[in-house]
């Protein structure tokens, strides 16, 4: 029985009632998996590749992952934060080096790494026009890493932008924690949140990743239930 290990940030993490209704992609990904596939979600809010490693969060994955398992790696949102040296990584140097550490952790145990480009924020400008976002260099760096190391890649960034364009500014509010005034959870009252997901958005983007795995075929598509 294979286990999928997730390493990532708040867009992936498991949430409890203290952050409800926020929902991470890794929290709902089991909906697309065969029942015999297990999930261990090690993603944590606010982490970059750097802080995830520096805090020792890769260690339990290295200790538990075994031959035939999978390591899904999705970072970018917090690596971009230049104002925070504990998290920031330059896209074409530190970020790529850190991604390689995740990949090697899996491969040393004969497990299969998968790189997943960062989810796009709900970054509409001028009505229904989707803005440039902030991930482009990190997406390019992850793609370069995937090519250099011959690692399968799921381009969630491009798929999420396509879904945002299709849905438009108003409908896509249902996917993110950009809630109507007065219904925010107490921990984020008064904030505008176009990054973190609600259940509907988590399922939507988990489906994008599942489609990416299906396109990869072989052992990756074998993880999935039959749907669509």
pLDDT of 65-79, one tens digit each?
Answer: 999 999 999 999 899
Q: Is 35 exposed, middle or buried (0-12, 13-18, 19+ CB in 10 A)?
A: exposed
DSSP type of residue 2: -
Residues with a catalytic annotation lie at 10, 189, 196
Task: For residues 18-36, give the mean pLDDT.
Answer: 94
Is the whole-model pTM more than 0.85? yes
- In the chain, pLDDT over 90 holds for what percent of residues? 69
Phi/psi of residue 214, each to 5°? -60, -40
C-alpha 65/C-alpha 112 separation (Å) is 10
**The pLDDT of residue 21:** 87
Q: Which CATH superfamily, name and number, covers 3-221?
A: SGNH hydrolase (3.40.50.1110)
Confidence category of residue 63, pLDDT binned at 50, 70, 90: very high
């Amino acid at each position: 029985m294979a286990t999928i290990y997730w390493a990532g940030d708040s867009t992936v993490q498991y949430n409890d009632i203290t952050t409800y209704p926020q929902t991470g992609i890794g929290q709902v990904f089991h909906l697309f998996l065969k029942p015999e596939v297990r999930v261990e979600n090690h993603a944590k809010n606010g982490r970059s590749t750097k802080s995830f490693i520096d805090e020792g969060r890769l260690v339990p994955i290295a200790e538990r992952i075994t031959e035939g398992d999978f390591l899904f790696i999705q970072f970018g949102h917090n690596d971009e934060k230049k104002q925070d040296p504990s998290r920031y990584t330059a896209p074409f140097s530190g970020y790529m080096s850190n991604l390689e550490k995740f990949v090697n952790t899996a491969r040393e145990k004969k497990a299969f790494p998968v790189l997943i480009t960062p989810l796009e924020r709900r970054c509409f400008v001028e009505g229904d026009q989707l803005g440039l976002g902030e991930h482009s260099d990190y997406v390019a760096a992850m793609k370069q890493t995937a090519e250099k190391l011959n690692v399968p890649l799921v381009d969630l960034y491009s798929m999420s932008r396509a879904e945002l364009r299709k849905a438009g500014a108003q409908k896509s509010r249902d996917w993110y924690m950009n809630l109507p005034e007065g219904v925010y959870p107490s921990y984020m009252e008064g904030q505008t949140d176009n990054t973190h997901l609600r259940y509907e958005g988590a399922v939507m983007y988990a489906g994008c990743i599942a489609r990416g795995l299906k396109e990869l075929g072989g052992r990756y598509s074998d993880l999935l239930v039959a749907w669509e």
